[in-house]
Amino acid sequence: MSAADKLLNYVTFDTQSDENSETTPSTEKQRKLARALVKECQALGMDEVREKDGTVYATLEANTSEPRTPIGFVAHMDTASELSGANVKARRVERYDGGVIALNEQYAMDPATFPALKKVVGDDLIVTDGTTLLGADDKAGIAIIMQALEEIIRDDAPHGRIAVAFTPDEEIGRGVDHFDLSLFPVEYAYTVDGDRIDAVDYETFNAAQATVSIQGTSIHPGDAKDRMVNAALLAVEFASMLPEDQTPAKTEGREGFYHLVSMEGECESATLTYILREHDAEKFEKQIETIERVRDTLNEKYGDRIEVAVRRQYANMKDYMKGDMRAVERARKAIEKAGLEPVSIAVRGGTDGAMLTQRGLICPNLGTGSYNHHGRFEFASVQQMDRMVRIVRDIVEGE
């Protein structure tokens, strides 16, 4: 099998996570893919294969007496909540000609709208049928790691200890909440969870989720003067008091944002859910202060009706690397060997690696050759996935 074949198999598993669940993993269906990956790792002859708290761990012990740095690779099994990941009907587009790709009668991908397509002209693509997401985020990462392991074992390529981990619940910010570092005995690792394959990224957002709960007073509208307090209107007022130029639709690069993820409300009560993102730690703290200041202003105006709960999700991994660039430099050499010019981008998102780095395991991020994640326009390049398999092999074998 190839990495593309593995991806087509993995996307048949519905592994969508659920931020409203309090279980670990957040959905039991993620364990179905976990069990399949345990069997695959065992069939390859890997060591210490197990599933714990929804995470799959496996190691491949060194096959050479030469001193080599133990390294690891991580990818997540769950898919995003923006669109269903069930009943995925993926198909191949052979030798993409650079034109519009019709997904179904309603949806099509035009390179004018989706510029990532311009990077893969001539490649074979894996696309959706327009009714679901693909799940290449991050099943392409799993496929690349598993294919690289299969080839390393097949070719008896010299290597030090390799550890792999496949995590649940990354999309809801809980991917490594229960990660057992004692089962992952490496000096540093890589998440394979990005898009472009020339990138090795080690700077992410600082991230938090803010839940704004508003309590109103519901009175019959015919007798409500000076008595009704409409929680839904307070929610609108709260949203209007945040910086209107700091939303995802109006920011790029290193610019942070307040993203209103959901808004639910009626006269009696309302809830706003925001995600806060900022690369700079000081600006990130000011975002939290702004949310709390808006709360205080409206509570003074209307009485104590608004509560804000902030849950910090992950931090900018660069701040925790403390200048240790060994993992980054090793990946850059492998990318160069593949004939590419390595780049490092300030990621407008986060990975399991951000939280692992915060816990002391440096874990920069690599690409997968898949693009347009979290929606029906997601696709993967077969050729870029193959090149990424080679890059992973060269990271392992290149020391």
* CA-closest candidate to residue 57, choices 75, 30, 80, 32: 75
Asked whether this chain's domains 3-204+316-397 and 206-314 adopt the same fold, the reply is no
Which pLDDT band holds residue 336 (cuts at 50, 70, 90)?
A: very high
- Whether residue 25 is preceded by a cis peptide bond, meaning omega within 30 degrees of 0, is yes
- Res 398: pLDDT: 84
Helix axes 382-397, 3-10, angle to 10 degrees: 110
**Spans of all domains in the chain:** 3-204+316-397, 206-314
- Res 313: pLDDT: 87
Evaluate whether 52 touches 181 at the Cβ level (below 8 Å).
no
Q: Give the CB-side neighbour count of residue 31, counting CA atoms within 13 A.
A: 11
Of 14, 40, 78, 201, which one is the catalytic site residue? 78
Q: What CA–CA distance (Å, rounded) separates 158 from 191?
A: 22
DSSP helix/strand/coil, 370: strand
Instruction: Give kind and range of the element (H or E) at residue 163.
Output: strand 162-167
- Res 349: pLDDT: 82
Which residues lie below 8 Å from residue 258, measured CB to CB, with a gap of 6+? 242, 243, 246, 247, 274, 275, 276, 287, 290, 291
CATH number of 206-314, picked from 3.40.50.2020, 3.40.630.10, 3.30.70.360, 2.50.20.10: 3.30.70.360
- Res. 173: pLDDT tops 90: no
Identify the burial level of 387 via C-beta atoms within 10 angstroms of its C-beta, where 0-12 means exposed, 13-18 middle and 19 or more buried.
buried
Characterize the bridge pairing of strands 379-381 and 370-371.
Answer: antiparallel
Evaluate whether 17 touches 79 at the Cβ level (below 8 Å).
yes
Check if 307 is active-site: no
Q: What is the mean pLDDT of residues 272-296?
A: 97
- Res 350: pLDDT: 81
Check if 304 is active-site: no
- Res 351: pLDDT: 87
Report the mean per-residue pLDDT for the chain. Answer: 96
For the whole model, what pTM was predicted? 0.90
Q: What is the mean pLDDT of residues 336-352?
A: 92
Of 14, 137, 170, 171, which one is the catalytic site residue? 170
Query: pLDDT digits over 246-277, tens only?
Result: 999 999 999 999 999 999 999 999 999 999 99
**Superfamily of segment(s) 3-204+316-397:** Zn peptidases (3.40.630.10)
Q: What is the mean pLDDT of residues 328-344?
A: 97
And the tokens for 360?
Answer: 């002391």
